[in-house]
């Protein structure tokens, strides 16, 4: 009869008798701790250690390879939720749209900005400290009451985000892609502020123009067939011209420029240890530039020096 001292137990579960050893650390493991390996079984800790030592696959732009466009799904969800909020409460558009400077009276009527406004009026927009408008406006869209283009506004934008966003996210990875999207949206809002500060704007178009610019830059960097991409960009630029009379061309152009700059840094940064640092530095630098431009413009509006 086998003696009690000869009974071997799992190193993680001392009460469970075990006769199988981990092929890496040689410790006894029970069935619940076994993980199949190329030869035999390994324990949980050795599997985790092995995963840390294996270099994660990266795309040509430094992003982690992912088959599920999680960020694109999330962005579409946020835009749809914001649209539902508009349907439930129309005041959401006036409260969170992008607006550099405006006036509102005691009856809730809106007027163009005038730095020397009377005491009976109240300032609204960035001049009143509503800095959140720089991003919240990029998640709102024209309500259905704006005619045919009302519902088409969000449908077209989400269709473009679904088709182009998934491609861009798969190449950039989630973090880089999210930074690109938000900086493009911010770039669009800042250009609106600089050129048309009293214009109320909404829509994800600035961000979508940014990821469209990324789509073009990525295609050039990867040596893709540019025929399809060039046709897509031509259509985008035509829409930029058409939209001058329908929506904010300033937001579209600002998003396009910001997205192109960020993706250029993503695509052409040296493929060594400095790559992530350079890419992050460009993003931070662009953010700082947009913040400075915003502060200067808002200060000028408040003093009437525009």
Q: What are the structural domains of the chain?
A: 4-53 (no CATH), 70-303 (1.20.1540.10)
Beta strand 110-112 pairing with 28-29: unpaired
Q: Give residue 147's pLDDT.
A: 59
What's the CA gap between 110 and 103, in Å, rounded? 6
What's the CA gap between 115 and 306, in Å, rounded? 10
Beta strand 20-21 pairing with 35-36: unpaired
Q: Give residue 53's pLDDT.
A: 58
What's the CA gap between 281 and 287, in Å, rounded? 10
Q: Give residue 226's pLDDT.
A: 79
| Higher local confidence (pLDDT), 190 or 37 | 190
Asked whether 206 and 251 are in contact (CB, 8 A), the reply is yes
Question: Residue 203 above 80 pLDDT?
Answer: yes
Specify the pTM: 0.80
Q: Give residue 208's pLDDT.
A: 93
Per the structure block, which two tokens stand in for 219? Answer: 């295609």
Question: Residue 113 above 90 pLDDT?
Answer: no
**CA geometry: angle 302, 203, 171, nearest 5 deg:** 115
Q: Give residue 227's pLDDT.
A: 83
Question: Residue 3 above 50 pLDDT?
Answer: no
Q: What is the CA radius of gyration of the chain?
A: 27
Condensed to tens digits (0 to 9), the pLDDT of residues 60-70 reads 888 887 778 99
Percent of the chain with pLDDT over 90: 44
Question: Residue 186 above 60 pLDDT?
Answer: yes
Handedness of CA 54, 56, 60, 65 (dihedral sign): positive
Nearest one of 138, 83, 113, 80 to 255, comparing CA atoms: 138
Confidence of residue 1 (pLDDT cuts 50, 70, 90): very low
Let me know how long the chain is.
306
Q: Give residue 46's pLDDT.
A: 85
Question: Residue 2 above 50 pLDDT?
Answer: no
């Amino acid at each position: 009869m086998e003696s009690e001292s000869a009974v071997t137990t799992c190193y993680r579960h001392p009460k469970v008798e075990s006769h199988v050893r981990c092929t890496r650390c040689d410790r006894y493991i029970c069935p619940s701790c076994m993980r199949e390996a190329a030869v035999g079984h390994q324990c949980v800790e050795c599997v985790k250690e092995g995963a840390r030592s294996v270099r994660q696959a990266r795309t040509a732009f430094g992003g982690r390879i992912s088959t599920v466009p999680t960020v694109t799904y999330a962005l579409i969800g946020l835009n749809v939720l914001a649209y539902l909020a508009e349907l439930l409460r129309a005041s959401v558009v006036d409260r969170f749209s992008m607006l550099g400077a405006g006036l509102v009276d005691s009856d809730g009527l809106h007027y163009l900005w005038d730095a020397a406004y009377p005491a009976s009026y109240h300032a609204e927009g960035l001049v009143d400290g509503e800095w959140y408008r720089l991003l919240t406006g990029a998640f709102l869209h024209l309500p259905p009451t704006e005619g045919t283009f009302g519902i088409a506004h969000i449908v077209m934008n989400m269709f473009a985000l679904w088709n182009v966003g998934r491609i861009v996210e798969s190449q950039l990875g989630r973090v880089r892609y999210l930074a690109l999207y938000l900086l493009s949206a911010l770039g669009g809002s800042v250009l609106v502020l600089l050129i048309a500060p009293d214009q109320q704007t909404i829509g994800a178009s600035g961000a979508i123009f940014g990821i469209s610019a990324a789509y073009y830059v990525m295609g050039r960097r990867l040596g893709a067939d540019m025929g399809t991409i060039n046709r897509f960009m031509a259509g985008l630029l035509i829409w930029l011209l058409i939209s001058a009379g329908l929506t904010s061309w300033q937001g579209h152009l600002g998003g396009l420029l910001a997205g192109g700059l960020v993706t250029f840094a993503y695509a052409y940064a040296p493929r060594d240890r400095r790559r992530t640092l350079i890419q992050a530095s460009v993003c931070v630098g662009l953010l700082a530039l947009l913040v400075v431009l915003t502060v200067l413009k808002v200060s000028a509006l408040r003093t009437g020096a525009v």
